[in-house]
Each structure stands twice: as structure tokens, then as C-alpha cells.
A = this chain, B = another copy of it.
Amino acid sequence: MPGVKLRLPDVVLLFVLGGAAALIGDHSHVVTATTEYYTDAVPFLWSSPLWFPMLVGGATVSLAELRMHLPAPRSTVTVRQGVAGVAVVVGMYVTTALTRGAPVVPATALICVAAVVLWCVLGDGPGAICGAVAAIIGPVVEIGLVQVDVFAYTDGSDALFGVGPFLVPLYFAFGVAVALLGELLAARRAAISAGPGAC
């Protein structure tokens, strides 16, 4: 497709990575009764209807592509940082499940703190934009799905128009981490284009 910067193998990698993280997190939400599905219209993969990991995988691809269209990708980010960023987001996701039943302020503050620290350690301006886009669209989509009774956040985890308020910092961190993956892929593409003769 014209204008698309991600190459096919990168798209596959990001899609699978985002989908796999979504499956772990969503299973954690279901098994702790943080969320409950009301649908059996499509087959389930582990604890999730098939479209859930696909939605998150697609969002992962989209956010990385978005980052590649924003200015000033850092060529200094490392694979270690990318892996650590993804790991922290998964850690935040399962923490929102482990704190199921806890009062909303400390539970949400803890996830906000993790999002802030993640950005301070690994983020930049365009990464914050990707984070903000994810922090708006993600919860809005989930609120929509709750409205049409596809699933629900259970009592005590539904303080933000029926969804968990922790979704906002969680999606923000997701956007920041994926933006960093986009920078990594851009840097690798630039290195490959430059060829073996370039320093």
C-alpha cells in the first residue's frame, strides 16, 4: 500500500506480539472476574473471542505505523528497551487483574505511576502522542463494546463509563511501548537500506 512504512514481516511480528500480550492480559481479566464476556458469536482462543487479540494486534500495527509517520524517530533505542517496554505493559495489564477488588484510587494510581515511569524512562514527544491516541481510542472502543453488551467490567472495575479507569494509563503505556517498537523497526530499515558498505 502506498504510504505504508511498515514492511510485511514487521506487520506480522507486531500483530502476533500485540495479540499474544492481549491473550495473556485478557485471560487474567477473565480469570479474576475483572471482565466477563456475554458473547459466543465467534470462537474463543483461550479466554478471549478471536476478535479481541486481532483488535489489539491491529492496534499494535497501527500505532507503530503512526510512530513512523511522526518526526524524529530516535536511532539510539535498543532492542533491550523495546523488550523491556513490552514486558512492562504486560506487567501493568496483569496487575490490573491482580488488584481486582481493590479500591479504585490506589489501584488506578498504581497503573498511572507505572505509565509515568515508563514514559520517563523510554518515552519521547511522539511516543506520548501515540500513547495519548491509544489512551483515548482504546477506552472509547471498550466503552462502546460494553454499551452493546459484548462484555462487561464487573462491579468495582467499571468506574469509567462502565470500563476500568486503569484502561487510560494502560493504553497510554501501550502506545508509548509500541511507538518505541516503531522506532526500532525504522532504525533497522534504515540500517538495511544503507547496506553493508555504509557505516
Among A81, A83, A103, A114, max chain B CB count under 10 A is at A103
Contact residues in B for A107 (Cβ distance below 8 Å): 94, 98
Q: A91-B110, A109-B90 are in contact. Are A84 and B120 (CB under 8 A)?
A: yes
Contact residues in B for A116 (Cβ distance below 8 Å): 83-84, 87
Among A27, A28, A109, max chain B CB count under 10 A is at A109
* A9 contacts partner chain B, Cβ-Cβ < 8 Å: no
Main secondary structure on chain A at its contact with chain B?
helix
Beta-carbon nearest neighbor of A23 in chain B: B105
Mask: chain A, 87-120; 1 = CB below 8 Å from B; 0 = not: 1101100110111001101110110111011001
Contact residues in B for A83 (Cβ distance below 8 Å): 116, 120
* A: contact size bracket: 20 to 34
Q: A90-B109, A109-B94 are in contact. Are A31 and B103 (CB under 8 A)?
A: yes
* A121 contacts partner chain B, Cβ-Cβ < 8 Å: yes
Contact residues in B for A24 (Cβ distance below 8 Å): 105, 109
Cβ contact of A110, chosen from B80, B95, B103, cutoff 8 A: B95
CB within 8 Å of B: which A103-148 residues? 103, 105-107, 109-110, 112-114, 116-117, 120-121
* A154 contacts partner chain B, Cβ-Cβ < 8 Å: no
Least CB distance from A99 to B in Å reads 6
Contact B28 A87 (CB under 8 A): no
Contact residues in B for A90 (Cβ distance below 8 Å): 109, 113
A interface vs B, CB < 8 Å? Answer: 24, 27-28, 31-32, 80-81, 83-84, 87-88, 90-91, 94-95, 97-99, 102-103, 105-107, 109-110, 112-114, 116-117, 120-121
